[in-house]
Amino acid sequence: MTIEFRGVTKRYPDGTVAVNDLNLTVDDGTITVFVGPSGCGKTTSLRMINRMVEPTAGSVLLDGKDVSEGDPALLRRGIGYVIQHAGLFPHRTVLDNVATVPLLSGWDKAKARKRAAELLETVGLPAELGKRYPAQLSGGQQQRVGVARALAADSPVLLMDEPFSAVDPIVREELQDELLRLQSQLGKTIVFVTHDIDEAVRLGDKIAVLRVGGVLAQYGTPSDVLRHPVDDFVASFVGRDRGYRGLSFLSADGVEVIDAERVEVGTTLPGPNPGWLIAVNAGGQPRGWLPPNSTVDGPVTEDQLVAGGSLYQQGTPIRGALDAALSSPASLGVVVDAEHRVLGVVKAKQVLEIIEATPQAS
Ligand code: ADP
Ligand code: MG
């Protein structure tokens, strides 16, 4: 199902403009992440899809049909919704929490519970947890129950508002992986809200970066947004604490190659660089490293660069990746293709783990 925002504005009664003329289409069967700092209108945008908030102007369309035309209660029942802290009913068992929507839709109790039990399994929870109350579960388990409950709506659309923000980073990663796994099976249209750019990049087929005042700053694939931020706001938002985050891919030998930030010699940095940057020539070949916090006025020159270590050409023995990482001033080994163009970087620790796991690799 596609979701289209057409000139949508929300002004709250006190005059706050939470969302300002939003135009955007969420593609069918994809995860779209709304990301931005607190107060930029993410929750308001999300809630206008299921009419928990009504727009002041403009319209929201589901598969071309204006959501304001039907019955809001029916609409909401037909759209899965997951929030932070799961929003579970404390006095109902886990199973009955998940069975809520099927029951509301008129299913008999036995059938609704059976469906709920299946859904617990779908989200990776053992059936016996169904008898417990929400307070008897860990935070991560509660979020899974929240997801199961949202899936019970059996709708093509799932709205998720910071669902994983309250759990610790390790559990958060598990939940993110689980969501990606579920999505590969279910192919829902998911709108996911977060203030965490890493989470957005990890989950989103596309990400919409919003700024305070409810203005859409940029909408594109994670790679687009990371590599070509449209303005200083987006650049600093996606660059915050960025280090060497970014997209990564596994090379044939199992090395995780991280999409490294780079700068072309002779061009000017768009803003301060908190971490090391690979300096490349116009052909994309490495010239050295630009140290953190280099000056941003004027073009980057060769004499600002620190010499790089050895390069690792993809496909050659993995030992070379370790040498590259250990000899680099940034502790990141530069991976190049056969034409010596930069593909990304590798971390020594990760390469070591692979070498240790497969002794023959060394
Ligand atoms: P986010 O989810 O990105 O943090 P929200 O959509 O919750 O942002 O809020 C956007 C702006 O609208 C904020 O300035 C917030 O204070 C304001 N806001 C949210 N809900 C209401 C409301 N019910 N009444 C008045 N202002 C609100
Ligand atoms: Mg919010």
Quick one: pLDDT at residue 247? 57
pTM higher than the cut 0.75? no
Q: Kindly indicate the confidence band of residue 318, based on its pLDDT and cuts at 50, 70 and 90.
A: confident
Decide if pLDDT at 340 tops 60: yes
Decide if pLDDT at 33 tops 80: yes
Protein residue closest via CA to atom 18 of ligand 1: 18
Positive or negative: CA dihedral 279, 281, 283, 286: negative
Total length of the chain: 362
Ligand 1 pocket check: which of 10, 16, 194, 195 to mutate, most ligand atoms within 8 Å of Cβ? 16
User: Does ligand 1 come within 6 angstroms of the Cβ of 12?
Assistant: yes
The domains of the chain, with CATH numbers, are 3-239 (3.40.50.300), 262-361 (3.10.580.10)
Residues 329 and 276: beta-carbon distance below 8 Å: yes
Protein residue closest via CA to atom 12 of ligand 1: 18
Q: What is the pLDDT of residues 212-238, one digit of tens each?
A: 899 999 999 988 888 788 988 888 888
Q: Looking at residues 191-211, what average pLDDT do you find?
A: 93
Residue that has been written with the tokens 């998720």 in this structure: 160
CA distances from 39 to 16, 58, 136 (A): 10, 21, 32
User: Does ligand 1 come within 6 angstroms of the Cβ of 184?
Assistant: no
Residues 214 and 17: beta-carbon distance below 8 Å: yes
Quick one: pLDDT at residue 362? 42
Q: Kindly indicate the confidence band of residue 297, based on its pLDDT and cuts at 50, 70 and 90.
A: confident
CA distances from 135 to 95, 123, 141 (A): 13, 18, 10
Q: What percent of the chain is modeled with pLDDT above 90?
A: 48
Average pLDDT, the chain: 88
